[in-house]
């Protein structure tokens, strides 16, 4: 009997993928397609492997997100820590905000309360330690951190969503709905708003995080 020809050799094992390669590929997918597209199957295609080969490093999508969160947390700049504890709170909170504002999608993950990068606990530790040095009790120090976190997360989420909505509206119609409404305010019905109506967009897009943070920290420390 003649030997059969033209048959392909069965494929061998896919090449072993390193953790660094997985993280780099996940960053590319999130940056180009959005975090919702980050799946085991999509990542496997990106690295030229199979989902099974990824299980040496992660077991599911949450594992992928944890790799990303930890990578971001490790690389987030740590500020110099002032001696004054109040200024230390402000410095650390500002650094936390600046790092997170660079990657707005991450807020949906963090505010779900399910996942976070363990290395990011450095920011929690420094803020709570500084609050204790300000004279707050441990319970009030945790409350202070939570208040700062809520303010920071809210500022990032609202700012990024408003900016995106504003850009879409102006691209479509040249103006936003809010601009049209504020341009026709009745001073008798809304006297306070009418005074600033022509500057509302200018004022509402200002980055006032630092001023708001200082006011918040002042109020929290005063409790001590």
Q: Where are the domains of the chain?
A: 13-75, 79-222
pLDDT tens string for the chain (224 positions)?
434 444 443 454 555 678 888 889 999 998 888 888 888 889 889 988 887 888 778 888 888 888 889 999 999 999 999 999 999 999 999 999 999 998 878 888 888 888 899 999 999 999 999 999 999 999 999 999 999 999 999 999 999 889 888 999 999 999 999 999 999 999 999 999 999 999 998 888 889 999 999 999 999 998 77
Assigned CATH for 79-222: 1.10.357.10
The token duo for 54 is 């990824």
The token duo for 102 is 């660079």
The token duo for 165 is 């909505």
Give the per-residue pLDDT at 1: 41
In CATH terms, are 13-75 and 79-222 the same topology? no
Alpha-carbon distance of 46 to 41, in angstroms, equals 9
Alpha-carbon distance of 10 to 26, in angstroms, equals 29
CATH superfamily for 13-75 is Homeodomain-like (1.10.10.60)
Alpha-carbon distance of 166 to 180, in angstroms, equals 12
Alpha-carbon distance of 42 to 25, in angstroms, equals 10
Q: Which has the closest alpha carbon to 45: 25, 15, 19?
A: 25
Distances (CA, A) of 217 to 118, 157, 159, 162: 25, 20, 21, 26
The answer to whether the pTM exceeds 0.75 is: yes
Give the per-residue pLDDT at 24: 92
């Amino acid at each position: 009997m003649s030997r059969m020809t033209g048959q392909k050799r069965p494929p061998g094992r896919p090449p072993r993928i390193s953790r660094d390669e997985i993280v780099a590929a996940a960053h590319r997918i999130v940056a180009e397609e959005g975090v919702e597209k980050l799946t085991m199957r999509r990542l496997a295609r990106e690295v030229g492997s199979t989902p099974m080969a990824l299980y040496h490093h992660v077991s599911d999508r949450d594992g992928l997100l944890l790799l990303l969160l930890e990578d971001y947390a490790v690389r987030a700049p740590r500020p110099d820590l002032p001696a004054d504890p109040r200024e230390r709170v402000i410095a650390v909170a500002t650094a936390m905000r600046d790092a997170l504002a660079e990657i707005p999608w991450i807020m949906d993950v963090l505010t779900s309360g399910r996942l976070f990068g363990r290395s990011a606990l450095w920011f929690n530790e420094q803020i709570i330690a500084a609050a204790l040095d300000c004279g707050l009790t441990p319970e009030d120090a945790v409350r202070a951190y939570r208040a700062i976190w809520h303010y920071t997360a809210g500022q990032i989420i609202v700012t990024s969503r408003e900016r995106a909505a504003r850009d879409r509206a102006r691209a479509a119609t040249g103006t936003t709905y809010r601009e049209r409404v504020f341009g026709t305010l009745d001073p008798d019905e809304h006297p306070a708003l009418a005074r600033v109506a022509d500057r509302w967009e200018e004022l509402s897009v200002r980055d006032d995080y630092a001023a708001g943070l200082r006011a918040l920290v002042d109020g929290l420390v005063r409790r001590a």
